[in-house]
Amino acid sequence: MFAPGMSNDSISFGLACGNGDASVWWLGEDFLSLLRALGRRSNCTRGDGKITAKVKVNMRLCGKTHHITVDSTEEGDFRCTIETDCINVKEFSQGVERLTIMDLTDKKASKIVNRYCDCGMSANCLVPAGVMSAGWMEAGMISRTLAGKKKANDVEFIVD
């Protein structure tokens, strides 16, 4: 069900409040434009003045390091490049060169998730999470300041 004046392209999110009432936010192209604008206000730029988000994925168990770059396109989508020497990550990267905001926010329809399931990479590879994180930072959904302060999300093995 859509609110009056909302198109079928709008996205709805329900938020449950502490008292059991639910509020619904209607987010459409205006919200997506805002996300894109927030991402463009960063000071992390390429040589041509456009912003870019970069992450490094260290897969210490297999000895591979992957460098992921996501930048905004003129059309409002995202371009993803992955520098790697891993054949499985190269295979994965061939399906995620161009991403949309929906690829970053809708897990069921995401090219990132679908490609992860359809390629030969190991189920515990962190590269898809790296692509998602770089995309979120480029879209303005992860604060560059906070990312710079925290530096990493990681998986720590506890061996007793």
pLDDT per residue over 80-130, tens digit each? 999 999 999 999 999 999 999 999 999 999 999 999 999 999 999 999 999
Domain of residue 98 covers 43-150
User: Is it the case that residue 1 has pLDDT exceeding 80?
Assistant: no
Asked if residue 155 belongs to a domain, the reply is: no
Q: Where are the beta strands (DSSP E) in the chain?
A: 11-16, 22-27, 53-59, 64-72, 78-83, 98-99
Task: State the pLDDT at residue 50.
Answer: 63
Indicate the pTM of the whole model. 0.71
Asked if residue 58 belongs to a domain, the reply is: yes
Task: State the pLDDT at residue 158.
Answer: 96
Asked if residue 71 belongs to a domain, the reply is: yes
Asked if residue 122 belongs to a domain, the reply is: yes
Asked if residue 24 belongs to a domain, the reply is: no
Asked if residue 114 belongs to a domain, the reply is: yes
Longest Cα–Cα distance of the chain, Å, equals: 59
The half-sphere exposure of 157 on its side-chain side, counting CA atoms within 13 A, is 6
- Structural domains of the chain, count: 1
Task: State the pLDDT at residue 43.
Answer: 41
Q: Residue 119 belongs to a domain with what CATH number? A: 3.90.1010
Structure confidence at residue 37 as a pLDDT band (50, 70, 90): low
Tokens encoding 27: 């987010």
Structure confidence at residue 33 as a pLDDT band (50, 70, 90): low
Asked if residue 14 belongs to a domain, the reply is: no
Asked if residue 141 belongs to a domain, the reply is: yes
Measured CA angle at 20 (ends 19, 21), to 5 deg: 95
